[in-house]
Structure 1
Amino acid sequence: MRAAISLLVLLLSMCGVQTDVSTELKELRDMVVELKGRHVAIEAENAAMSQRLAVSEYTVQALEQELQDTKVEMKTEVDNLKKENAAQEAELAAVKTRLAATETEVENLEKEIRAAPKVAFSAALGDSAGGLGGGLNLVFQRVITNVGEAYSSTTGFFTAPVRGVYYFRFTVEDVLDSRIMSIRMHKNGERLMQLVEYDTDGQPSYLSSGLALQLEKGDTVNMVIPADYRLFDNSAESRSTFSGFLLFPL
């Protein structure tokens, strides 16, 4: 290109072209050089842009892959959470079922407790008593407690209102000097136990004991003082007492 321009300048000089033509050609050459420089710069810029574009495309691909991986992870996590939630709901349902069963059981037990017979009594002798002949059935006349009305302060007998296990206890006193005191517990008229105490020191003597008895409905329990023995009590102090209560029905 440069050789062609030089040759053109030479021809023009030989032909007598004026000097301003040479100036124009020089300017044209300078323009060509400038265009070449701009072309090189544009190519360099294009190369840089291509590189940036390649980097951007790689970044976009990487982001797309990361997004895809994230979607997969999130789906897996959502599936796991759904499974856990389903398991928790099943467990909650089971707990609710157990709770309902427990509440029903408690309610039934409360009904049984409310429906179960309530039997308990305590009575004091009230006055001194003594056995004559074949003995004396003791009537503890001063009723302190008689839940269920199973004890009779008229006869001195306790009558079991239901089949079950009952506990009975007694305490009696004698204040006579140099005398033997004795007490018996009977069930359905038969002797279950007898306690004896001999007083020689002039001080009050006590006999006290108790029994757990399995009774059928209608069975009776009472206290008896043997013949020729005495017990002491007064209505103000309740020194001789007879008590019993239902442990549990059968």
Structure 2
Amino acid sequence: MTSVRAQKDLDSTWKMNLTILLLVSLFSGFILAQEEVEAPTEAQPCHPDMCELLKELGTLREKLEAVETRLTDSENKEKTKVIFSAATGGSRAIGPFDADSTLIYKTVITNIGEAYSPVTGTFVAPVAGVYYFTMFYHAGGAHEGKLLLYKNTQLMIMTHDKRSEFDGADNGGNAAFLELQPGDEVYVRMAANSHVWGTDYHTTFSGFLVAQM
């Protein structure tokens, strides 16, 4: 059902583009003629019908240029794809540390658009839009597990599990939709005196562009 609908949308887009191309071809001769005709002067007044025709052709050209611009903008938005997913990597406990620290997810699983950096652990929004982010962790029970998701310097969400002597392992996670502007940064901080288990599979940070604005 989805493939049929996608095919119909594709056919509709092609028909729209074909219609515009036909209109451009139809009036290109008139537009070129308009550009070649000298502006009317007192010595050479143009025929009233010709003047009206040239005026209408000028208006039509402006409308066609506006449609072309909108189509170009729409195509650019459709081409913008931002999807990433990364894991901490390794096979060891990360933390606990005396202060909050940015958690760097070194093992890149997917990074379409190259907006996430495995060097800094930071996602930088390439375009304005609404993005969806998730963070999950696995940790032992000897220390608390506490991760904080930031947008620039603002805390947005967190996931937290206290230390427990009776619970050998903990798992936690959270997710949020964030409205971002180009250049906004999103990253995960591990709270002081907390820890997570670092592997290629358990502790992950992911996100993708939901809608461009």
TM-score under structure 1 length normalisation: 0.54
Separation in 1, partners of 2:190, 2:96: 6
- Structural RMSD (CA): 2.8
Question: Contact (CA 8 Å) 1:199, 1:205: kept in 2 or not?
Answer: no
Separation in 2, partners of 1:143, 1:132: 24
> Is 1:148 paired with 2:148?
no
Matched residue, 2:54: none
Matched residue, 2:79: 116
Separation in 2, partners of 1:195, 1:131: 16
Question: Contact (CA 8 Å) 2:95, 2:196: kept in 1 or not?
Answer: yes
Larger-Rg structure: 1
Letter in 1 for 2:16: T
Deviations 1:37-93 (Å, cap 9, x if unpaired)? xxxxxxxxxxxxxxxxxxxxxxxxxxxxxxxxxxxxxxxxxxxxxxxxxxxxxxxxx
The 3-state SS of whatever aligns with 1:232 is: strand
Deviations 1:11-49 (Å, cap 9, x if unpaired)? xxxxxxxxxxxxxxxxxxxxxxxxxxxxxxxxxxxxxxx
Letter in 1 for 2:204: T
Question: Contact (CA 8 Å) 1:159, 1:221: kept in 2 or not?
Answer: yes
User: How high is the sequence identity, in percent, across the aligned residues?
Assistant: 30
Matched residue, 1:104: 16
C-alpha change, 1:154 and 1:106, in structure 2 (3 Å) is farther
Normalized per residue, which structure has more strand?
2
C-alpha change, 1:170 and 1:231, in structure 2 (3 Å) is same
Q: 2:138 aligns with which of 162, 165, 173?
A: 173
Question: Contact (CA 8 Å) 1:178, 1:198: kept in 2 or not?
Answer: no
Question: Contact (CA 8 Å) 2:142, 2:168: kept in 1 or not?
Answer: no
Q: Which moved more, 1:121-130 or 1:214-223?
A: 121-130
Letter in 2 for 1:244: G
Separation in 2, partners of 1:198, 1:173: 13
Q: Map 1:178-217; keep pairs closer than 5 Å.
A: 178-200=142-164, 201-217=166-182
The 3-state SS of whatever aligns with 2:198 is: coil
For structure 1, the 5+ residue unaligned runs are 1-98
Separation in 2, partners of 1:155, 1:132: 18
The 3-state SS of whatever aligns with 1:112 is: helix
Q: Map 1:14-33; keep pairs closer than 5 Å.
A: none
Question: Contact (CA 8 Å) 1:130, 1:136: kept in 2 or not?
Answer: no
The 3-state SS of whatever aligns with 2:121 is: coil
Normalized per residue, which structure has more helix?
1
Q: Which moved more, 1:192-201 or 1:213-222?
A: 192-201
Matched residue, 2:94: 129
Q: Which runs of 4+ in 1 moved over 6 A?
A: 99-102
The 3-state SS of whatever aligns with 2:15 is: helix
Deviations 1:200-238 (Å, cap 9, x if unpaired)? 333321111100000000000000001111100223xx1
1:182, distance to aligned residue in structure 2 (A): 0.6
1:102, distance to aligned residue in structure 2 (A): 7.9
Which one has more relative contact order, counting CA pairs under 8 Å at least 6 apart?
A: 2
Number of matched pairs: 149
